[in-house]
């Protein structure tokens, strides 16, 4: 069912590029006596160097020539920042008034506020203060009002900050001490925060707060913490009197116990529900957690418990565990029942309809199944492409570029934040450039965001173009969303290591969106998001000399090492792209532990059962990204199903074809 696609001729037409060039040039037009843009850029570079070297006179001379340059405020800021502790307040206020919307203005204000608070200059602190997200600064603000006896609404504002499920900075302690002595501090208010703390899995904070409860209430706070720490004991004893606090604590205990021992949680819940007058909401919460954890642990009661969830309460989590349970047991009738009707708004409707169609297929209702596949066949995603595979029709990419409206494009081209972001990007000041770009989002309409994405792509800033189109919910310009960049580099290593080029492109697109200096919260680096330890091991294996972590932030070195690791995963999993993709994300040991032990399994079923949500979404995303990249590379489009091989037994991993055949049955992955 493959099809060949070519890039539409209208994209190859240079008219749009020409228009962009004209608009960007207009954005920097200056009077004839002004320096050209390239000269301003050079002066800016020299000014930064002079300041870094401490050559203040040279810096002032150079920066004086740049007052009409988009990045002039950054020069002023950098000089101010270096003497913030002694800068004149009027000078700082003038900067903040002149550039109120710049990210660096927020930095300057926050740093000045911290300096003033540490020096206990409370009046000046209040003069400089604006609403802040930083909890420490919020506490300093309350302190300033307390010290200056600004009592109006002070206790109300302290209450709003105090009422949180996490511990707050020590800078809050002085105002909280005052709050604890006020009439605002009641058992009811303490219970509100205890609930927030327990909901945030913070029993230490809940225990601390419980000690402030009155004598009659304190025991319930202590019981809640005890039940959290030992749910089997306290939900089994049923020793509490039937009060609202007791019921709340016991439901919490049952949900905790379900994670540890489903059978015991079920037995304890059956006993408790006959002794306590739980509300319908209490029962619903307990049954939801029991159903989820019974499914996660493949408990024999999973199907029955999942059946108790009302349709109005079904969300993506419940849908997922219903899928896992039904597919593990090949219970197509339950799956059909669970996906009947219109999907609730809180679920991924494409997933719902796809598996409704599959359940109909498996129960012999093939023509009815086609109706549901047709409902999603126009979706350009994993389930939409799989639906087309079942319908045996070719993929339609439905690429549509943004229509040109010169006046609107000119307006965006001259938007100050766009110009500043462009100049920062040109100078390699990527963090600052991204902050400018991010702050611009709320100021632009969705159409204007799409125009900005076109500009970003024209500059080569593809990760911002992709991000911006996502923010605008504009998914049809596939040339912008799936750029063919680093082609020589990626093609070289795809050929050298005999890797599927479109698959490799899909992986880079999913990992980093082509951000060369991408850094994940877990520490993965660069285009192919390699962990430093993995990078070093792979570099050593391929004879890469003198590896350093920073190499992963260079495109050529990252792809050299990343493609070698991808090849390693491909070989370890016998060319199975589904398994290799999962292993690249979750690690090979995890994937090995998820392989079936008794019979082979269809790849689409295995993917739905992947225990890690991130990996599950990652694998499905890369599979359909690869088909889109086939189209972008102007090569034969490989259907998603043709990149998905049967999932073999672990013991027969390297002889999958000999042992899988067409025999399929249920399999349960280790959760």
How far, in Å, CA of 59 to CA of 330, rounded?
Answer: 73
Nearest Cα neighbor of 281 from 313, 257, 307, 256 is: 313
Q: Which residue has the tokens 């972008």?
A: 632
Q: What CA–CA distance (Å, rounded) separates 429 from 423? A: 9
Q: What is the 3-state secondary structure (H, E, C) of 477-507?
A: CHHHHCCCCCHHHHHHHHHHCCCCHHHHHHH
Q: Return the DSSP state at 404.
A: P
The first and second tokens of residue 334, run together, are: 């339950």
Backbone angles phi, psi at 525, to 5 degrees: -130, 145
Q: Are 322 and 356 in contact (CB under 8 A)?
A: no
Q: Is 270 a catalytic residue?
A: no
Q: Per-residue DSSP letters for 591-648? A: HHHHS-SSS-B-HHHHHHT-S-HHHHHHHHHHHHHHHHHHHHTTSEEPPGGGG---B-
Q: Coil, strand, or helix at residue 530?
A: strand
SS3 annotation, 82-100:
CCHHHCCHHHHHHHHHHCC
Joined together, the tokens standing for residue 28 give 């920097």
What interhelical angle do 89-98 and 103-118 show, nearest 10? Answer: 150
Task: Identify the sign of the CA torsion 567, 573, 575, 580.
Answer: negative
Rounded to whole angstroms, the Cα distance separating 220 from 198 reads 13
**Among candidates 559, 412, 544, 405, which has minimal Cα distance to 490?**
559
Q: What is the DSSP letter of 4?
A: E
Return the CA Rg of the chain: 30
Point out which residues pair with 601 in neighbouring strands.
Answer: 647
List of long-range contacts for 610-615, beta carbons under 8 Å, 24+ apart: 610/582, 610/586, 610/669, 611/669, 611/670, 611/671, 612/585, 612/586, 613/320, 614/585, 614/586, 615/582, 615/585, 615/586, 615/590
Please choose, from the candidates 228, 238, 232, 158, the residue with its C-alpha nearest in 3D space to the C-alpha of residue 200. Answer: 228
Report the C-alpha gap between 102 and 417 in whole angstroms: 8
Taken as a whole, the chain contains a residue count of: 671
- d(C-alpha 162, C-alpha 205), whole Å: 12
Query: Are the beta carbons of 235 and 268 closer than 8 angstroms?
Result: yes
Annotated active-site residue in 511, 548, 604, 614: 511
Q: 3-state DSSP call for residue 288?
A: helix
Distance CA 321, CA 344 (A): 16
Q: Are 325 and 303 in contact (CB under 8 A)?
A: yes
Residues 630 and 643 sit within 8 Å (Cβ to Cβ): no
Q: What are phi and psi of 286, to 5 degrees?
A: -65, -45
Q: What are phi and psi of 519, to 5 degrees?
A: -135, 120
Q: Could you list the active site residues?
A: 511
């Amino acid at each position: 069912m493959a099809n060949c696609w070519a890039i539409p001729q209208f994209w190859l037409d240079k008219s749009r590029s020409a228009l962009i060039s004209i608009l960007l040039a207009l954005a920097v037009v200056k009077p004839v006596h002004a320096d050209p843009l390239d000269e301003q850029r050079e002066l800016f570079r020299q000014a930064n160097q002079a300041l870094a070297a401490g050559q203040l006179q040279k810096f002032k001379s150079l920066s004086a020539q740049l007052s009409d340059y988009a990045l002039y405020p950054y020069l002023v800021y950098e000089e101010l920042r270096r003497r913030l502790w002694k800068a004149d307040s009027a000078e700082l206020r003038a900067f903040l008034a002149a550039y109120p919307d710049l990210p660096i203005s927020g930095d300057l204000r926050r740093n000045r506020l911290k300096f003033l608070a540490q020096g206990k200059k409370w009046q000046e602190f209040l003069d400089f203060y604006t609403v802040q997200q930083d909890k420490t600064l919020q506490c300093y603000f309350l302190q300033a009002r307390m010290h200056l006896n600004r009592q109006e609404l002070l206790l109300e504002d302290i209450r709003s900050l105090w009422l949180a499920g996490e511990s707050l900075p020590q800078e809050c302690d002085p105002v909280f001490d005052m709050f604890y002595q006020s009439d605002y501090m009641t058992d009811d208010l303490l219970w509100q925060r205890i609930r927030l703390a327990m909901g945030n899995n913070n029993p230490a904070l809940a225990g601390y707060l419980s000690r402030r409860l009155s004598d009659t209430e304190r025991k319930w706070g202590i019981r809640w913490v005890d039940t959290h720490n030992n749910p089997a004991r306290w939900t089994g004893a049923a020793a509490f009197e039937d009060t609202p606090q007791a019921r709340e604590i016991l439901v919490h205990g049952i949900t905790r116990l379900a994670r540890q021992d489903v059978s015991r949680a079920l037995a304890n819940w059956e006993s408790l529900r006959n002794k306590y007058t739980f509300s319908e909401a209490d029962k619903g919460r307990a049954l939801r957690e029991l159903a989820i954890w019974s499914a996660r642990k493949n408990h024999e009661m999973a199907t029955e418990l999942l059946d108790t969830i009302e349709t109005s309460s079904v969300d993506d989590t419940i849908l997922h565990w219903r899928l896992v349970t039904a597919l593990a047991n090949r219970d197509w009738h339950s799956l059909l029942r669970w996906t009947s009707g219109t999907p609730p708004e809180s679920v991924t409707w494409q997933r719902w309809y796809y598996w409704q169609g599959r359940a109909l297929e498996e129960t012999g209702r093939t023509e009815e199944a086609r109706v549901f596949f047709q409902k999603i066949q126009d979706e350009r995603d994993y389930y939409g492409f799989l639906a087309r595979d079942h319908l045996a029709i070719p993929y339609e990419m439905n690429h549509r570029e943004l229509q040109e409206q010169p006046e609107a494009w000119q307006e965006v081209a001259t938007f100050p934040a766009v110009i500043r972001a462009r100049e920062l990007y040109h100078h390699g000041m990527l963090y600052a450039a991204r902050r400018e770009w991010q702050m611009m989002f709320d100021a632009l309409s969705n159409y204007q965001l799409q125009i900005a994405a076109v500009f970003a792509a024209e500059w080569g800033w593809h990760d911002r173009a992709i991000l911006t189109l996502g923010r605008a919910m504009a998914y049809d310009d596939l040339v912008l969303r799936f750029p063919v960049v680093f082609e020589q580099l990626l093609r070289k290593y795809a050929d050298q290591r005999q890797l599927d080029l479109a698959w490799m492109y899909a992986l880079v697109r999913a990992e980093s969106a082509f951000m060369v200096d991408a850094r994940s919260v877990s520490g993965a680096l660069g285009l192919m998001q390699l962990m430093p330890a993995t990078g070093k091991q792979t570099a050593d294996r391929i004879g890469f000399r003198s590896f350093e972590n920073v190499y992963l932030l260079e495109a050529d070195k990252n792809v050299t090492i990343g493609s070698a690791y991808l090849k390693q995963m491909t070989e370890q999993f016998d060319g199975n792209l589904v398994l290799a993709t999962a292993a690249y994300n979750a690690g090979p040991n995890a994937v090995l532990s998820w392989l079936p032990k008794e019979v082979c399994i269809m790849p689409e079923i295995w993917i739905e059962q992947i225990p890690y949500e991130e990996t599950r979404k990652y694998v499905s995303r890369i599979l359909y990204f690869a088909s889109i990249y086939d189209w972008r590379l102007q090569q034969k489009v490989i259907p998603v199903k043709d990149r998905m091989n049967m999932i073999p037994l672990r013991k027969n991993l390297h002889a999958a074809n000999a042992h899988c055949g067409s025999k399929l049955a249920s399999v349960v992955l280790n959760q």
